[in-house]
Every structure is written in structure tokens, then in C-alpha cells.
Structure 1
Amino acid sequence: MMTFANPVYDKNFPDPGVLHVDGTWFAYGTNNAVDNVPLLTSTDLVHWTEQGDVLPKVGDWAELGNTWAPEVVRTDAGKYVLYYTARWKKADRQCIGVAVADDPHGPFADTRGEPLICQDDEGGSIDASPFRDEDGSLYLYWKNDGNHIGVPSHLYAQRLSPDGLHLTGDRVRLLTNNQPWHGTVVEAPEMLRHDGKLYLFYSGGAFDSDGYAVGYATCDTPMGPCHDAPENPILRSSATAAGPGHCYPITLDDGTTWLLYHAWPPDGIGSINPGRQMWLDRLDWTGGKPVVHGPTAGAQPMPGRQTSIRGDSIQTP
């Protein structure tokens, strides 16, 4: 039996957002000292190769630096749409932009003169995450950056147009930071449909502390209402990984579910060397509830065949 051990990428790579195309996993991460949106690729979720910057130029509305939490979706038209967070010069807020490419390797281009979303009065908007449901409809999830200005943070949802470039319909709030473990923050929403039910994974707590953790809520529809799980958080710090969070749930063809996330070394919280490393752990379902086996530092079996991810797997001619 082939095994692996965490972390699966031992350098700084915060906020991984993942796409699967033709047998290759694409992980997009928060900016580093060189790249606005660094890219890693893998064929097995364990061995990752650095591919450089997929967003060589941020939108004209944005300042360089502070390019956070990118995620990509492929539209029915065959385009790849990147949602990323950057600082809007006009508002001096972190806001969500959108860029397009013909290939998941990029380069992505943001030709807009302003961000897609920026809730200026709520502190800004960050951590955009697209979700394609079983019927093909697209949704976008994100948080207002309320903790930046001392107001509540919420997780939001809104429908996307088929091309992924426009928000449509009403915007709804799904969750608010109202639990002790949340502190001032709920963020990094990720919607997953499993066995016909909807699960919204999210992170709470200060990202640069060992209190940062992962929880989930069950949702009646992609637009809510959502019901926070009483057993939260389901992934928290251990002796080998501090502040695990900003997770991405992955469902494989063999039916297993895995969680890709970042975590600090316990003795390196807040340091960029090595920074937030990328971890991978098995997630099981017990009585309809997700149970994470992690953070796991010892040897564990390699993931099986990778052909689907949150329903977003892409097989192109």
C-alpha cells in the first residue's frame, strides 16, 4: 500500500482553492513575495509542482500585494473564471475581482475597472468560492470583511450568471460569527453536495492563532437557510499542526472525501518561513455528519482515483 505524510507541500501556500481538469489537480493560493496567484499542480493530491503566477497583472482597480484566496471555475463556454481578493484603491478595502483565461494554467486577465463585489460599508468582501450544483447552476459564496472594521462577519451567497462573470438575483446571509470559537471571524466558505445533501464548510477564529479551525453547516438549498452544526469545530489544532483552516473538500471517484487545507507549524505561527503549509486528510461521513481524520502527521494511505471534485471535475477533449 502506498502511503504519504503531511504536509503535502511544505512551503508557504495559504488558502488553497482547487480545480480538477483532465486528470490534473490545480491548486491556486494566496500571493507570495513573487506571484500574485501562485499555482501548484498534481496528479495524485500528494506530490505538487510549482507552476508560477497565473495572474501576472491584477485588475486596474487593485493594488499589488494582498491578493488572497483565489478559486477557479470552468464555465459551459469552456472559459476559466478566477475569483480573487485584492485591495481596491478607491475604497481602501479588500474586495473580490474576477479574471478570465482559456486555460487553467492562465494567464488570467481582469479587464474590469472595478471589483465584482465590495461591501465597503461592511468592511469589504473576501474569500470568494464558486459552486456548481447538480443542475449546472452556479453560485458564489464569500464573506464580508467585518472583523476589519469591528462589525460582524457574515457568509454570503448569490447566484452567478452562466458565464460566471455577473451576480444575479438576491444576495442572502447564510451564517454569522455568533459562536464562541468563531471569535470575530467566519470565513472561507466552501459548499459541497454529498449524498444529496448540502454542506457548507467554513473557518472561524483568527487565522494567525492556534484557535483557527474548521466547522460546517447543513443547508436546505444552495441559497440556504443553513444550520450550524453543534459539534463544531470539526478540525482544530493538534501537536503537529496549528490553526488548520481554509479547507477545500474533494470527493473522489471511489466515493471517498478528502480535505485539503493549510496549517502552521506549531512553533511557527505567524511566520512566513515556512508559513502556512498545505495538508491533506481523509474525511468520513458518520450518520450524515463529516468527520475529519486530522490533522494527521503519520503515514496514511494515498488517495484513490481522482475524477471528481465537488461536482466540478472537468474532462476536456
Structure 2
Amino acid sequence: MRRALLALVLVLAACSADPATAPAAKPEYTNPVYSGDAPDPQAIRVGDTWYLVHTNTEGRNVPVLTSPDLRHWTAAGDALPELPKWADPGKTWAPEIIELAPDRFVLYVTVADRASGRQCIATAVAARPGGPYSATAPGPLVCQADEGGSIDASPFKDQDSRGYLLWKNDGNAIGRDTWLWSQPLSPDGLTLTGDPVRLIRQTEPWEGHVVEAPFLWRHGPSLLLFYAANAYDTADYAEGYATCDTPLGPCRKPPGNPLLATHGQASGPGHAAMVESNGKTWLLYHAWVPGSEGSTSPGRRLWLDEVTWNGDTPQVHGP
């Protein structure tokens, strides 16, 4: 009888506990957070909505996904329904967006330049993050034809509001080194100023013959250069980082790379983008289904993992 009474008291105490003092339920999600083909993702938040753009798929030049929470994504059309007049369709890769004003968004995207026969970087402008963007410039913003072309553009606005553009020369297309470059951007985001600067090239065994997909991220006083490396269509593709003194370098590769590598159901993870939400840092990236590397079915699916920091050293909690 005493045991029964004690059990009843404990149950009543649990039922009457203040819900405000109960531990919050941990947000749950399942990777991949989008199971369609969404290679080379980048996302920005405008208002309560996340807008993600990625490399061309299913006849769309710059596909758009939207989400309220980074975990649930919905296809939302084509941000760039018309390519620049000087570009050919196909090979419209690695788009990234920056917001310069509430009604001014600039898109940087790799396109097939007809004149040079290489892939080069185009700009386009829209009043809304999801587009449609208009590409009216008479030619590429960056086109290093003698370096194999220029791809994987990424805009960065530093804490002093100065803008920079990062990209990769496509040296692996012609058997040359690949470098990650940086150059200051004009305030309107449509022209480059000063001189381009080389930041890093492939030097580590894990990088193979390629470094690509750069982006800068400032964590407190520290400036980090994230990048992907190795052959994109293999399980060796991975994500690493370097530390930089300024957006124009110099940059150094610390030990401990890569940060993100093939594991479990994520093969060849990389070409990432970093965002902050609700006080946490998150990494969005693509990964193959093991055994499907290089195939468009199901293609590169979208993954999400939290990033935590030990000083200026990032740790990705996944895949």
C-alpha cells in the first residue's frame, strides 16, 4: 500500500510540474533536409524566409528553394529564367546572392561564355531575393580564359561594410593549378576594384588537384576561408578551411583538415555555405548517395549540420 501511495504522489507531482521549467524539446530533423538534386547550395534569410539557390537542374538555370527553418524546403522556381545574351545554356553553376539594400539583391553565377569558350562569372540584379534576376551587363564580371576560366563566385561584406568577391580559376579544366582569388567589389556589387589577389591553391594530399567553392566567414575577430577540394564526383570530395589576416590574405591552412568528409550516407560532402539562425551556426552542403557519385539521379542532396567553435577553430557536427 505504501508503494502504491508513493507512486501516486510521484505521478501527481509530475503532472502538476510547471511547463515553463520543463526542458525544451530538442529540434529534430533528418538529413538530407532536401532529397532532390541541389548541388552547390547557398542561402540567405530575408524576413522570416530562407532563400536557397543552387546549380542548374531540371531545366532551371538558377533553381530556388525556400524554407521557414532551414529544415523543410520547397522548390520555388527559377531565379534567372533568362541567361545573359552572351552566355550559352547549360553549365550554369554555383550561384550566390548578396543583399545590398531591402530592394536590391545581386546574384553572382557561373555561366558558359560564348566568346571565350570557358565558364565565367556573370552578375544579375533583382528587387526580391527569389528573383527574377536580370543580367544586363555586356559581358562577364570575371573571365580568366587563359587560366581555364573563372567559376564559383562568392560575395563577402566585411564588418567595415567593404565588399569583396572570391572565386576559383578553373585551372583543372586545362591541367593547371587552381587558385582561390579575392578582389574588392564596388558598393553596387557590379564591378571589381583594385587588383585580384591569389589566396591559396591545392597543396595538401586530401585536396587532390583542385580547390574550389570559396567563401569567407568572420567569427569574432577571426576571418576564415572555407573551401571544397578534390574531385567533386568522387567520395574524396571534402570541405576544409584556412585562416586569413584580411579578405585579401594572406591565408594559412591549419592542421586538422578536412572538416567535412565522406561518412555514412553522405559521400563527397562539400561546396558548403554557412549561416546563422537562432544564435547557432549551421553548414549547408551537398552530398552524394554512396555509390551514386557523378550521377544526376538522385544527384547531390542537401544536408545541414551545426557548427560549434573552439576559439576560432570550427567543428562540424556531421555528417
Counterpart of 1:267 in structure 2: which amino acid?
G
* Aligned counterpart in structure 2 of residue 34 of structure 1, from 45, 59, 76: 59
Q: What is the aligned partner in structure 2 of residue 275 from structure 1?
A: 299
Q: Does the 8 Å contact 1:139/1:160 carry over to 2?
A: yes
CA distance in 1, matches of 2:194, 2:44: 26
Q: What is the aligned partner in structure 2 of residue 313 from structure 1?
A: none
Tell me, yes or no, if structure 1 residue 264 matches structure 2 residue 288: yes
Per-residue deviation, residues 40-61 of structure 1 (Å, max 9, x unmatched): 0111000001101010011011
Q: What is the aligned partner in structure 2 of residue 186 from structure 1?
A: 211
Q: Using a 3 Å threshold, how does the CA distance of structure 1 residues 22 and 122 change in structure 2: closer, same or farther?
A: same
Q: Does the 8 Å contact 2:121/2:143 carry over to 1?
A: yes
Secondary structure (helix, strand or coil) at the match of 1:170 reads: coil
Instruction: Kindly tell me the number of residue pairs found equivalent between the two proteins.
Output: 294
Secondary structure (helix, strand or coil) at the match of 1:147 reads: helix
Q: What is the aligned partner in structure 2 of residue 98 from structure 1?
A: 123
Gaps spanning 5+ residues in structure 1: where? 296-317
CA distance in 2, matches of 1:93, 1:207: 19
CA distance in 2, matches of 1:293, 1:205: 21
Pairwise CA distance, 1:33: 2.4
Q: What is the aligned partner in structure 1 of residue 17 from structure 2?
A: none
CA distance in 2, matches of 1:182, 1:91: 28
What is the 5 A alignment of 1:138-177?
138-177=163-202
Q: What is the aligned partner in structure 1 of residue 6 from structure 2?
A: none
Q: Does the 8 Å contact 1:76/1:163 carry over to 2?
A: no
Pairwise CA distance, 1:77: 7.4
Per-residue deviation, residues 248-280 of structure 1 (Å, max 9, x unmatched): 0112342x2110000000121111111000000
Counterpart of 2:164 in structure 1: which amino acid?
Y
Tell me, yes or no, if structure 1 residue 127 matches structure 2 residue 152: yes
RMSD: 1.0
Pairwise CA distance, 1:228: 0.9
What is the 5 A alignment of 1:176-255?
176-254=201-279
Counterpart of 1:257 in structure 2: which amino acid?
T
- TM-score, scaled to structure 1: 0.91
Q: Does the 8 Å contact 2:44/2:275 carry over to 1?
A: no
CA distance in 2, matches of 1:63, 1:132: 30
Counterpart of 2:293 in structure 1: which amino acid?
I
Counterpart of 2:75 in structure 1: which amino acid?
E
Bigger helix share: 2
Which consecutive segments of 4 or more residues in structure 1 shift more than 2 A?
none
Gaps spanning 5+ residues in structure 2: where? 1-24
Q: What is the aligned partner in structure 1 of residue 5 from structure 2?
A: none
Per-residue deviation, residues 89-115 of structure 1 (Å, max 9, x unmatched): 111101000011111121101112211
Q: What is the aligned partner in structure 1 of residue 316 from structure 2?
A: 292
Q: Does the 8 Å contact 2:240/2:259 carry over to 1?
A: yes
Secondary structure (helix, strand or coil) at the match of 1:75 reads: strand
Q: What is the aligned partner in structure 2 of residue 309 from structure 1?
A: none
CA distance in 2, matches of 1:77, 1:207: 35
Q: Does the 8 Å contact 1:158/1:170 carry over to 2?
A: yes
- TM-score, scaled to structure 2: 0.90
Q: Does the 8 Å contact 1:60/1:112 carry over to 2?
A: no
Pairwise CA distance, 1:222: 1.2
Per-residue deviation, residues 2-33 of structure 1 (Å, max 9, x unmatched): 30110000010000011111121110010012
Identical columns (%): 52
Tell me, yes or no, if structure 1 residue 80 matches structure 2 residue 90: no
